[in-house]
Structure 1
């Protein structure tokens, strides 16, 4: 058995899956600021083992979020297939922001560039080009403002990532209010729009503000 190498390969695969499962959990909860050392410790493997499986942080991020990037690209195809381009546009914006809300790590991935992560960046480029086509179609209906650009979505994703991080515990779902209001800003006069989410209660939003202030105090130099 040892000469064939089968036990070693099985052990290596178990370590890889343990690392991915742990990184996925940590990134989803804490975002991409989690260190490689923390991932190794939580996965119960040594730093050398982690480095053998994933030589760089970008390699680990690519492996963890491969399926989510596939879903991100697929969401554009779904939107383009909608016979109503404006409905496809609004549905796509809501879908992508929902993906961010479900996973803090993915919220970060969509607002950061990873030049060495070729597969991840290829999927991002695919989604970007599909979205530019969706923009053109939605503008042609007269319901999307003529001055909307693809970069406006990037700005929204950055804002949404911040809202998700600040409110996910005390006021979850706040992001829906942000997205609804932004769709109203993007719409041309008279365009039909999805119902506007009522947003968080004053008490829930206040709790989120307190939590955010405390987290920043914890991070401040002592």
Structure 2
């Protein structure tokens, strides 16, 4: 790829990430192109559809979250590591309007996103397994549970997020206390085995 094409692609991805974070998945290609300082034709030379562009952004976000989880595996306190992983993931979703929207659409059928999602769940499972082994998390909690709970906190607080910044921290604290083994009761339904779409 020529140097100018590489530069345009980088500018496009940066502009798209910023526009999606601010305005959600409904943002127009024209707006993304304008922010990147390129024409709409340049966007479509790099990404045949808007969905491909969103997939590239979303895949990068999942990879960054997975990498953060993998780095936290070296943390001395397994409970704190799990909490920091969850907090970082919720914070990303709260700051980026497109993230929760992208989770709910059919983009996860894309092989690149499926691989990134699997890596994220594996990181969550490794952190959760350490916390379970150390007695910092209840025995019946899985990595899939953690990923779903992260989404739950972000989506539950989204309507009040602008009015009450940081509100998500309150509900993450409540949920994390529920993950602790003290006074845990059996859960009525088992954890999901996979987050893949049907």
Q: TM-score, normalising length from structure 1? A: 0.67
Instruction: Quickly say closer, same or farther: Cα 1:179–1:40, change in 2 above 3 A.
Output: same
Preserved contact between residue 111 and residue 154 of structure 1 (Cα < 8 Å): no
Preserved contact between residue 104 and residue 164 of structure 1 (Cα < 8 Å): no
Q: Would you say 1:16 and 2:3 are equivalent positions?
A: no
| Aligned residue in 1 for 2:196 | none
| Aligned residue in 1 for 2:44 | 51
Aligned with 2:139: secondary structure? Answer: coil
Instruction: Quickly say closer, same or farther: Cα 1:116–1:149, change in 2 above 3 A.
Output: closer
Instruction: Quickly say closer, same or farther: Cα 1:96–1:53, change in 2 above 3 A.
Output: same
CA distance in 1: counterparts of 2:49 and 2:109, whole angstroms: 9
| Aligned residue in 2 for 1:186 | 179
Preserved contact between residue 59 and residue 113 of structure 2 (Cα < 8 Å): yes
Task: Provide Cα deviations, 1:57-115, integer angstroms capped at 9, x if missing partner.
Answer: 33212433454333211121122212332222222112211222232223444555524
Q: Would you say 1:84 and 2:77 are equivalent positions?
A: yes
| Aligned residue in 1 for 2:146 | 153
Preserved contact between residue 139 and residue 146 of structure 1 (Cα < 8 Å): yes
2:23 aligned to which of 20, 25, 30: 30
Task: Provide Cα deviations, 1:19-67, integer angstroms capped at 9, x if missing partner.
Answer: 3333222211122232445534665655443222211233212433454
Preserved contact between residue 144 and residue 188 of structure 1 (Cα < 8 Å): yes
CA distance in 2: counterparts of 1:71 and 1:44, whole angstroms: 26
CA distance in 1: counterparts of 2:35 and 2:136, whole angstroms: 49
Preserved contact between residue 136 and residue 180 of structure 2 (Cα < 8 Å): yes
Q: TM-score, normalising length from structure 2? A: 0.73
| Aligned residue in 2 for 1:125 | 118
